[in-house]
A and B are shown apart, each in its own frame.
Chain A
Amino acid sequence: QEEKFAHDEL
Protein backbone atom coordinates (compact mmCIF):
# COMPACT_ATOMS: atom_id res chain seq x y z
CA GLN A 1 0.00 0.00 0.00
CA GLU A 2 2.69 2.47 1.06
CA GLU A 3 4.89 1.57 -1.88
CA LYS A 4 2.09 2.47 -4.28
CA PHE A 5 2.18 6.05 -3.04
CA ALA A 6 5.90 6.23 -2.43
CA HIS A 7 7.04 8.43 -5.28
CA ASP A 8 4.08 10.67 -6.06
CA GLU A 9 5.20 13.61 -3.92
CA LEU A 10 8.12 15.92 -4.44
Chain B
Amino acid sequence: NIFRILGDLSHLASIVILLRTVQKTRQVDGISLKTQLLYVLVFCTRYLDLLTFRWKSVYNTLMKMVFIGASVRVIQLIQECKTRNAVAYKDMMARDTFQIKYLVGPCAILALVFNYKFTVLELCWSFSLWLESVAILPQLFMLSRSGKAGTLTTHYIFALGLYRALYIPNWIWRYYTEGRLEKLSVFTGLLQTALYSDFFYIYYKKVIKGAGFELP
Protein backbone atom coordinates (compact mmCIF):
# COMPACT_ATOMS: atom_id res chain seq x y z
CA ASN B 1 0.00 0.00 0.00
CA ILE B 2 0.95 3.62 -0.55
CA PHE B 3 1.75 4.40 3.10
CA ARG B 4 4.17 1.53 3.40
CA ILE B 5 5.97 2.37 0.15
CA LEU B 6 6.22 6.05 1.08
CA GLY B 7 7.36 5.08 4.56
CA ASP B 8 10.11 2.82 3.23
CA LEU B 9 11.15 5.48 0.73
CA SER B 10 11.47 8.17 3.38
CA HIS B 11 13.46 5.71 5.49
CA LEU B 12 15.75 5.19 2.52
CA ALA B 13 15.84 8.95 1.91
CA SER B 14 16.99 9.60 5.47
CA ILE B 15 19.98 7.29 5.03
CA VAL B 16 20.77 8.68 1.57
CA ILE B 17 20.66 12.26 2.91
CA LEU B 18 23.09 11.28 5.63
CA LEU B 19 25.41 9.29 3.33
CA ARG B 20 25.56 11.88 0.57
CA THR B 21 26.13 14.82 2.88
CA VAL B 22 28.87 13.14 4.89
CA GLN B 23 30.49 11.91 1.67
CA LYS B 24 30.37 15.32 0.00
CA THR B 25 31.22 17.64 2.85
CA ARG B 26 33.33 15.30 4.99
CA GLN B 27 31.46 16.74 7.95
CA VAL B 28 29.89 14.80 10.78
CA ASP B 29 28.77 17.91 12.58
CA GLY B 30 25.82 17.19 14.87
CA ILE B 31 25.55 13.50 13.99
CA SER B 32 25.58 10.97 16.82
CA LEU B 33 27.91 8.04 16.17
CA LYS B 34 26.15 6.12 18.93
CA THR B 35 22.76 6.39 17.21
CA GLN B 36 24.37 5.22 13.96
CA LEU B 37 25.99 2.25 15.70
CA LEU B 38 22.64 1.34 17.23
CA TYR B 39 21.07 1.33 13.75
CA VAL B 40 23.71 -1.12 12.50
CA LEU B 41 22.77 -3.36 15.44
CA VAL B 42 19.05 -2.85 14.69
CA PHE B 43 19.36 -3.85 11.03
CA CYS B 44 21.72 -6.78 11.65
CA THR B 45 19.48 -8.31 14.33
CA ARG B 46 16.23 -7.63 12.47
CA TYR B 47 17.25 -8.98 9.08
CA LEU B 48 18.81 -12.22 10.33
CA ASP B 49 16.03 -13.95 8.40
CA LEU B 50 18.02 -13.15 5.24
CA LEU B 51 20.26 -16.04 6.32
CA THR B 52 17.36 -18.50 6.34
CA PHE B 53 16.72 -17.81 2.64
CA ARG B 54 12.97 -17.76 3.21
CA TRP B 55 12.78 -14.47 1.38
CA LYS B 56 9.47 -12.60 1.11
CA SER B 57 10.03 -10.77 -2.16
CA VAL B 58 12.76 -9.18 -4.28
CA TYR B 59 11.77 -5.75 -2.93
CA ASN B 60 11.86 -6.89 0.68
CA THR B 61 15.19 -8.69 0.32
CA LEU B 62 16.89 -5.88 -1.60
CA MET B 63 15.73 -3.22 0.86
CA LYS B 64 17.01 -5.27 3.79
CA MET B 65 20.42 -5.60 2.16
CA VAL B 66 20.50 -1.90 1.30
CA PHE B 67 19.65 -0.89 4.86
CA ILE B 68 22.36 -3.11 6.36
CA GLY B 69 24.92 -1.96 3.78
CA ALA B 70 24.09 1.73 4.08
CA SER B 71 24.20 1.72 7.88
CA VAL B 72 27.63 0.08 7.84
CA ARG B 73 28.80 2.58 5.20
CA VAL B 74 27.73 5.49 7.41
CA ILE B 75 29.97 4.18 10.20
CA GLN B 76 32.85 3.79 7.74
CA LEU B 77 32.45 7.38 6.56
CA ILE B 78 32.36 8.68 10.11
CA GLN B 79 35.53 6.74 10.88
CA GLU B 80 37.20 8.22 7.79
CA CYS B 81 36.43 11.63 9.21
CA LYS B 82 38.53 10.67 12.21
CA THR B 83 41.72 10.92 10.13
CA ARG B 84 40.64 13.60 7.69
CA ASN B 85 39.03 15.99 10.13
CA ALA B 86 40.25 15.06 13.59
CA VAL B 87 39.02 18.25 15.26
CA ALA B 88 35.43 17.81 14.08
CA TYR B 89 35.52 14.12 15.01
CA LYS B 90 36.78 14.84 18.52
CA ASP B 91 34.17 17.55 18.94
CA MET B 92 31.43 15.11 17.91
CA MET B 93 32.70 12.41 20.29
CA ALA B 94 32.86 14.89 23.17
CA ARG B 95 29.19 15.76 22.68
CA ASP B 96 27.99 12.22 22.00
CA THR B 97 27.75 11.29 25.66
CA PHE B 98 24.56 9.26 25.97
CA GLN B 99 25.16 5.92 27.73
CA ILE B 100 23.84 3.33 25.29
CA LYS B 101 24.02 0.48 27.79
CA TYR B 102 20.86 1.97 29.32
CA LEU B 103 19.13 1.36 26.00
CA VAL B 104 20.63 -1.98 24.93
CA GLY B 105 20.14 -3.67 28.33
CA PRO B 106 16.44 -2.89 28.80
CA CYS B 107 15.75 -3.72 25.13
CA ALA B 108 17.33 -7.16 25.60
CA ILE B 109 15.12 -7.77 28.65
CA LEU B 110 12.01 -6.55 26.81
CA ALA B 111 12.85 -8.90 23.93
CA LEU B 112 13.05 -11.83 26.37
CA VAL B 113 9.62 -10.94 27.76
CA PHE B 114 7.81 -9.93 24.55
CA ASN B 115 8.38 -12.21 21.59
CA TYR B 116 6.44 -14.59 19.37
CA LYS B 117 8.67 -17.60 19.93
CA PHE B 118 11.67 -18.29 22.14
CA THR B 119 14.10 -18.80 19.26
CA VAL B 120 17.27 -16.88 18.44
CA LEU B 121 15.71 -15.41 15.31
CA GLU B 122 12.53 -14.25 17.03
CA LEU B 123 14.37 -12.89 20.08
CA CYS B 124 16.75 -10.90 17.87
CA TRP B 125 13.83 -9.63 15.83
CA SER B 126 11.97 -8.44 18.92
CA PHE B 127 15.18 -6.90 20.31
CA SER B 128 15.64 -4.97 17.06
CA LEU B 129 12.11 -3.54 17.28
CA TRP B 130 12.60 -2.29 20.83
CA LEU B 131 16.06 -0.97 20.03
CA GLU B 132 14.90 0.85 16.92
CA SER B 133 12.19 2.60 18.91
CA VAL B 134 14.82 4.22 21.17
CA ALA B 135 17.90 4.30 18.89
CA ILE B 136 17.41 7.98 18.06
CA LEU B 137 17.74 9.01 21.74
CA PRO B 138 21.53 9.63 21.71
CA GLN B 139 20.97 11.85 18.65
CA LEU B 140 18.08 13.77 20.25
CA PHE B 141 20.06 14.02 23.50
CA MET B 142 22.97 15.53 21.58
CA LEU B 143 20.61 17.99 19.87
CA SER B 144 18.94 19.07 23.08
CA ARG B 145 22.26 19.66 24.80
CA SER B 146 23.79 21.71 22.01
CA GLY B 147 20.48 23.48 21.37
CA LYS B 148 21.32 23.90 17.70
CA ALA B 149 21.24 21.59 14.73
CA GLY B 150 22.56 21.82 11.20
CA THR B 151 20.29 21.27 8.21
CA LEU B 152 21.80 17.80 7.77
CA THR B 153 20.68 16.65 11.20
CA THR B 154 17.23 18.20 10.97
CA HIS B 155 16.48 16.81 7.51
CA TYR B 156 17.84 13.42 8.50
CA ILE B 157 15.70 13.20 11.63
CA PHE B 158 12.67 14.60 9.79
CA ALA B 159 12.87 11.89 7.10
CA LEU B 160 13.30 9.21 9.77
CA GLY B 161 10.33 10.50 11.74
CA LEU B 162 8.23 10.68 8.59
CA TYR B 163 8.98 7.01 7.89
CA ARG B 164 7.70 6.07 11.36
CA ALA B 165 4.63 8.27 11.08
CA LEU B 166 3.72 6.74 7.69
CA TYR B 167 3.84 3.23 9.10
CA ILE B 168 0.87 4.04 11.34
CA PRO B 169 -1.69 4.52 8.50
CA ASN B 170 -0.04 1.48 6.90
CA TRP B 171 -0.95 -0.66 9.93
CA ILE B 172 -4.49 0.71 9.98
CA TRP B 173 -4.77 -0.04 6.26
CA ARG B 174 -3.45 -3.59 6.71
CA TYR B 175 -5.77 -4.20 9.67
CA TYR B 176 -8.81 -3.45 7.54
CA THR B 177 -7.68 -5.07 4.29
CA GLU B 178 -5.74 -8.10 5.58
CA GLY B 179 -6.87 -8.45 9.19
CA ARG B 180 -3.24 -7.93 10.13
CA LEU B 181 -2.60 -6.63 13.62
CA GLU B 182 0.94 -7.24 14.68
CA LYS B 183 1.08 -5.97 18.23
CA LEU B 184 4.84 -5.85 18.80
CA SER B 185 5.54 -3.77 15.69
CA VAL B 186 2.60 -1.48 16.35
CA PHE B 187 3.48 -0.86 20.00
CA THR B 188 7.19 -0.21 19.43
CA GLY B 189 6.33 1.85 16.34
CA LEU B 190 3.97 4.07 18.34
CA LEU B 191 6.62 4.45 21.05
CA GLN B 192 9.16 5.51 18.44
CA THR B 193 6.77 7.98 16.81
CA ALA B 194 6.04 9.47 20.23
CA LEU B 195 9.76 10.11 20.75
CA TYR B 196 9.82 11.96 17.43
CA SER B 197 6.67 14.01 18.01
CA ASP B 198 8.40 16.71 20.03
CA PHE B 199 11.01 17.00 17.34
CA PHE B 200 8.29 17.24 14.67
CA TYR B 201 6.58 20.05 16.50
CA ILE B 202 9.77 22.08 16.72
CA TYR B 203 10.66 21.24 13.11
CA TYR B 204 7.28 22.54 12.00
CA LYS B 205 7.57 25.73 14.00
CA LYS B 206 11.16 26.56 13.12
CA VAL B 207 12.04 25.03 9.78
CA ILE B 208 8.72 25.25 7.97
CA LYS B 209 7.99 28.71 9.30
CA GLY B 210 11.47 29.77 8.33
CA ALA B 211 13.25 30.47 11.59
CA GLY B 212 16.48 28.77 12.61
CA PHE B 213 16.39 25.42 14.32
CA GLU B 214 16.76 25.36 18.07
CA LEU B 215 15.63 22.90 20.71
CA PRO B 216 14.64 24.17 24.14
Chain A contact residues, CB within 8 Å of chain B? 2-3, 5-10
Q: How far is the CA of A6 from the CA of B128 in the complex (A)?
A: 13
Q: Which residues of B contact A (CB under 8 A)?
A: 4, 8, 11, 49, 56, 60, 63-64, 67, 116-117, 122, 125, 167, 180-185
**For the complex, would chain B's binding face be called helix, strand, loop or mixed by DSSP majority?**
helix
Instruction: Give the interface centre of A2, A5, A6, A8 by most chain B CB atoms within 10 Å.
Output: A6
CB neighbours (8 Å) of A7 from chain B are 49, 56, 125
Chain A residues positioned under 8 Å from B8 (CB to CB) = 10
Supposing A2-B182, A2-B183, A5-B180 touch, asked if A10 and B60 sit within 8 A by C-beta, the answer is yes
Task: Return the contact of B11 from the options A3, A6, A8, A10 (Cβ within 8 A).
Answer: A10
Q: Which residues on the B side are within 8 Å of A10 (C-beta)?
A: 8, 11, 60, 63-64, 67
**Bound-state Cα–Cα, A7 to B63, Å:** 13
Residues of B within 8 A of A3 (CB): 116-117
Query: A5 to chain B: which residues have CB within 8 Å?
Result: 180, 182
Smallest CB-CB separation from B66: which chain A residue? Answer: A10
State the CA gap A7–B128 with chains docked (Å): 12
Minimum C-beta distance from A8 to chain B (A): 5
**B126 closest partner in A (C-beta):** A6
14 extra interchain contacts, Cβ-Cβ under 8 A, other than A7-B125, A10-B8, A10-B11? Answer: A2-B182, A2-B183, A2-B184, A5-B180, A5-B182, A6-B116, A6-B122, A6-B125, A7-B56, A8-B56, A9-B4, A9-B167, A10-B60, A10-B67
